[in-house]
RNA sequence: UGCCCGAUGGUGUAACUGGCAACACGUCUGACUCUGGAUCAGAAGAGUCCAGGUUCGAGUCCUGGUCGGGCAGCCA
């Protein structure tokens, strides 16, 4: 049972590791690995795996976690991706130490092992083409047929395989296959391809090879070479485990244990590498680090912290059942972390001009504001106040509903850290009638936000002094998809139909307090009452650009929604 | 019409070798508050996919179903 406030109990993977430690199965060693293919950017689903693998290594004395690039398919893999992956893993707070590996480092050994299997009569060179191999494989319900090349003499396969390596044959003309069982109910056993000819330069080995091992023939052996104890992967490899085991047994080499867990699914989010590539290449987003992307780079740019992502990964647990995790849980952890560490600041996203008619024209005074109520050590700062201010447009309503306790004609509110003001006059554009500003009076007795007469003011709103405010662009983000499960598509539709047209809203003319002028890209702030924001690298001097990381919890929005919902249902 | 895996409040995850289901998110109340934030206090919400069986006792074990997911790349 869980105790109140405690972390979830150990998941089934950790339970296996603990049991193995108890029985001494691996002599007390714990070696895991995170094995990305460098063909795309890491996303939150990978973060789950990273936290699991590196986490288990950290939790066990002497445990280590390797970072190994599974680079067996040169057609899709690039250095750009390996660099981004390394950076992302580091940013998440994990360290592989000296244990950085590449499957491509093992190509020669893998080749030798392939030769060994041929010699044992457990592999053969097959001259069938791709279509024929598919045909011969059979179907889910029918057994396959044996390749006519299956019983070719060992010497002949050996010679052919050597010549495949030497580049004597065309791409696709031959493959090396394991010789297992064409009638196996597990399709992975129907003489799986071990090597294919690919006359493509590899990002690390260049043109040294023109044959490349398949995942199944590389992964287990790589684990074996590295003396991995627990090879943790996702559920879709469950059917591959018998083959993983088969190769290691046939080769008679060190044999790690493969354990599979369910991959992460997040509501309103897509986590298929393929589809993420489509989003980038189709220009649906600005790039891999678009703040709406579920990539580590995107979340980082958005303002998420590694601590928040790790806390999220710990909270969701690890199991074998398919699930769809509510993105609200991720956002909860982001808020929880940011609340403690973000300096508070005032920024007006949709400015409405306010003139304090009884405040002197040329005076500017400095008012003291608390930087972070959650952290007294963060200290205070001064913010300028003067006759002309901006407040948030929706902090004023001409005809407010019940429960609205901000500014309205004749009503008094508190300007945070400043004075009480009362709305005296509404100014409109003569042509359009649009609201262009307010005239208010202030009560000089309320400097700093308190009143000597103890009069209660329910509403407190944020503001900036017009003359000193800094102009900024603010980018508001919403879920990239408007459907909880973006993979659910109407008949004849496409998953991109589920893209949320309002996932990005750019506000070009926001005003923020002057203390923000010197902020550095990546710096995070709470704009009081609005949310958490992070300075985007697109900022230039004199042109600040902020990304909204996540809103604050908004009770008022909830009340509004309820009221509207109530009206609709009537 | 094959093989593998899974099924616990709205969501996710727990419940040591069987002892009348817990934690977190979300939801709802209330308190407090110079952020309708944070914090604090409290509430509702599942009888564990179904049917049998074993047992004094089953979410945990057995049998048979149902539903969901994965697998027919020279991708990983």
Q: Is A324 annotated as a binding residue?
A: no
- Of A273, A301, A344, A414, catalytic: A273
Classified by CATH at the fold level, domain A265-341 comes out as 1.10.1160
- Give the model's pLDDT for residue A563: 80
> Where is A101: in which H helix or E strand?
strand A100-102
Q: Is A412 annotated as a binding residue?
A: no
Domain ranges of chain A: 12-261, 265-341, 347-461
**Nearest nucleotide (CA of A450 to C1'):** B34
Sign for the pseudo-dihedral over CA of A103, A107, A112, A117: positive
Q: Order of strands across the sheet with A31-34?
A: A31-34, A64-69, A100-102
Contact indicator for A548, A342 with CB cutoff of 8 Å: no
Q: Is A253 annotated as a binding residue?
A: no
CA distance A104 to A102: 5
CA distance A299 to A365: 39
Q: Does A456 participate in catalysis according to the annotation?
A: no
Q: Is A46 annotated as a binding residue?
A: yes
In the structure, how far is the CA atom of residue A463 from the C1' atom of nucleotide B39, in angstroms? 25
Which residues neighbour A396 within 8 Å (Cβ) at sequence distance 6 or greater?
A: A352, A406, A407, A408, A423, A435, A438
Contact indicator for A156, A148 with CB cutoff of 8 Å: no
Angle CA A72–A77–A80, to nearest 5: 140
CA distance A470 to A397: 25
In the structure, how far is the CA atom of residue A33 from the C1' atom of nucleotide B33, in angstroms? 48
Burial (CB count <10 Å: 0-12, 13-18, 19+), residue A402: exposed
CATH topology identical between A265-341 and A347-461: no
CA distance A417 to A187: 69
Contact indicator for A548, A536 with CB cutoff of 8 Å: no
CA distance A546 to A525: 10
| Closest amino acid to nucleotide B39 (CA–C1') | A374
**Nearest nucleotide (CA of A212 to C1'):** B74
In DSSP terms, which residues pair with A197 in a beta bridge? A211
Q: Is A219 annotated as a binding residue?
A: no
Name the one residue in this structure whose structure tokens are 């939790």.
A59
Name the one residue in this structure whose structure tokens are 């060992």.
A154
**Nearest nucleotide (CA of A261 to C1'):** B5
Strand A504-512 to strand A470-477: parallel, antiparallel, or no bridges (unpaired)?
antiparallel
- Of A116, A263, A341, A439, catalytic: A263
Burial (CB count <10 Å: 0-12, 13-18, 19+), residue A107: buried
**Nearest nucleotide (CA of A416 to C1'):** B34
The DSSP 8-state label assigned to residue A475 in this structure reads: E
- What pLDDT tens digit does each residue of chain A (570 aa) get? 566 555 667 899 999 999 999 999 999 999 999 999 999 999 999 999 999 999 999 999 999 999 999 999 999 999 999 999 999 999 999 999 999 999 999 999 999 999 999 999 999 999 999 999 999 999 999 999 999 999 999 999 999 999 999 999 999 999 999 999 999 999 999 999 999 999 999 999 999 999 999 999 999 999 999 999 999 999 999 999 999 999 999 999 999 999 999 999 999 999 999 999 999 999 999 999 999 999 999 999 999 999 999 999 999 999 999 999 999 999 999 999 999 999 999 999 999 999 999 999 999 999 999 999 999 999 999 999 999 999 999 999 999 998 999 999 999 999 999 999 999 999 999 999 999 999 999 999 999 998 889 898 999 999 999 999 999 999 999 999 999 999 988 877 899 999 999 999 999 999 999 999 999 999 999 999 999 999 999 999 889 999 999 999 999 999 988 887 655 443
Classified by CATH at the fold level, domain A12-261 comes out as Rossmann fold (3.40.50)
- Give the model's pLDDT for residue A568: 44
Task: Give strand B nucleotides closer than 7 A to any protein Cβ.
Answer: 1-8, 10-15, 21-28, 34-39, 68-76
CA distance A82 to A84: 6
In the structure, how far is the CA atom of residue A4 from the C1' atom of nucleotide B67, in angstroms? 34
Q: Is A99 annotated as a binding residue?
A: no
Joined together, the tokens standing for residue A335 give 């808020």
- Give the model's pLDDT for residue A454: 86
Please give the CATH number for the structural domain made up of A347-461: 2.40.240.10
Sign for the pseudo-dihedral over CA of A494, A495, A500, A506: negative
In the structure, how far is the CA atom of residue A315 from the C1' atom of nucleotide B21, in angstroms? 20
Integer angstrom CA distances of residue A9 from A129, A234, A268, A331: 51, 21, 28, 23
Radius of gyration in angstroms for the set of CA atoms belonging to chain A, rounded to a whole number: 31
Q: What is the reported pTM?
A: 0.96
- Of A33, A37, A177, A302, catalytic: A37
3-state secondary structure of A4: coil
Burial (CB count <10 Å: 0-12, 13-18, 19+), residue A395: buried
In the structure, how far is the CA atom of residue A554 from the C1' atom of nucleotide B41, in angstroms? 21
Other beta carbons less than 10 A from residue A498's beta carbon: 20
In the structure, how far is the CA atom of residue A12 from the C1' atom of nucleotide B52, in angstroms? 30
Q: Is A273 annotated as a binding residue?
A: yes
Q: Does A263 participate in catalysis according to the annotation?
A: yes
In the structure, how far is the CA atom of residue A322 from the C1' atom of nucleotide B4, in angstroms? 15
**Nearest nucleotide (CA of A552 to C1'):** B37
Q: Does A122 participate in catalysis according to the annotation?
A: no
Strand A175-178 to strand A123-126: parallel, antiparallel, or no bridges (unpaired)?
antiparallel
Phi-psi region of A289 (alpha: psi -120 to 50; beta: other; left: phi over 0): alpha
Burial (CB count <10 Å: 0-12, 13-18, 19+), residue A13: buried
């Amino acid at each position: 049972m869980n105790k109140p406030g405690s972390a979830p109990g150990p998941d089934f993977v950790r339970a296996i590791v603990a049991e193995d430690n108890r029985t001494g199965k691996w002599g007390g060693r714990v070696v895991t690995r995170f094995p990305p293919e460098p063909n795309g950017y890491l996303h939150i689903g990978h973060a789950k795996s990273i936290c699991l693998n590196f986490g288990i290594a950290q939790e066990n004395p002497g445990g280590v976690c390797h970072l190994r690039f599974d680079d067996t398919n040169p057609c899709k893999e690039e250095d750009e991706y390996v660099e981004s992956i390394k950076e992302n893993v580091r940013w998440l707070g994990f360290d592989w130490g000296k244990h950085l590996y590449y499957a491509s480092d093992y190509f020669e050994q893998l080749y030798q092992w392939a030769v060994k299997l041929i010699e044992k009569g457990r592999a053969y060179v097959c001259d069938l083409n791709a279509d024929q191999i598919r045909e011969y494989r059979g179907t889910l319900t029918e057994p396959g047929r044996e390749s006519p090349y299956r019983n070719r003499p060992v010497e002949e396969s050996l010679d052919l395989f050597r010549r495949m390596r030497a580049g004597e044959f065309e791409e696709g003309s031959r493959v090396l296959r394991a010789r297992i069982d064409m009638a196996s109910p597990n399709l992975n056993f129907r003489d799986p391809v071990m090597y294919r000819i690919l006359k493509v330069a590899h990002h690390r080995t260049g043109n040294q090879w023109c044959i490349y091992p398949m995942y199944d023939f590389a992964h287990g052996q790589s684990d074996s070479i590295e003396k991995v104890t627990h090879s943790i992967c996702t559920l879709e490899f469950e059917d591959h485990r018998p083959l993983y085991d088969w190769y290691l047994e046939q080769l008679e080499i060190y044999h790690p244990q493969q354990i599979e867990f369910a991959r992460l699914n997040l509501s309103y989010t897509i986590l298929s590498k393929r589809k993420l590539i489509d989003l980038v290449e189709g220009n649906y987003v600005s790039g891999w680090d678009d703040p709406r992307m579920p990539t580590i780079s995107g979340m980082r740019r958005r303002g998420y912290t590694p601590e928040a992502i790790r806390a999220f990964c710990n909270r969701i647990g690890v199991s074998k059942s398919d699930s769809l995790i509510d993105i609200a849980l991720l956002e909860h952890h982001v808020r929880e972390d940011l609340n403690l560490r973000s300096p508070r600041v005032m920024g007006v996203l949709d400015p409405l001009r306010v003139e304090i008619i009884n405040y002197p024209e040329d005076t500017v005074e400095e008012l003291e504001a608390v930087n972070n109520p959650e952290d007294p050590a963060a200290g205070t700062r001064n913010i300028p106040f003067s006759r002309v201010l901006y407040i948030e447009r929706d902090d004023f309503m001409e005809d407010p509903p019940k429960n609205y306790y901000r500014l309205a004609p004749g009503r008094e509110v508190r300007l945070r850290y400043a004075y009480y003001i009362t709305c005296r006059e509404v100014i409109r554009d003569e042509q359009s009638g649009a609201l262009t500003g307010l005239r208010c009076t202030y009560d000089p007795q309320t400097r700093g936000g308190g009143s000597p007469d103890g009069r209660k003011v329910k509403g407190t709103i944020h503001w900036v002094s017009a003359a000193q405010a800094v102009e900024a662009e603010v980018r508001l983000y919403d879920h990239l998809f408007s459907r909880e499960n973006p993979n659910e598509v109407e008949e004849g539709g496409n998953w991109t139909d589920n893209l949320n047209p309002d996932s990005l809203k750019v506000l070009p003319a926001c005003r923020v307090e002057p203390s923000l002028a010197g902020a550095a890209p990546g710096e995070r702030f709470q704009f009081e009452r609005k949310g958490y924001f992070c300075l985007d690298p697109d900022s230039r001097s004199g042109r600040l650009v902020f990304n909204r990381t996540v809103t604050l919890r908004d009770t008022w929005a909830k009340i509004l929604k309820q009221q509207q919902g109530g009206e609709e249902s009537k």
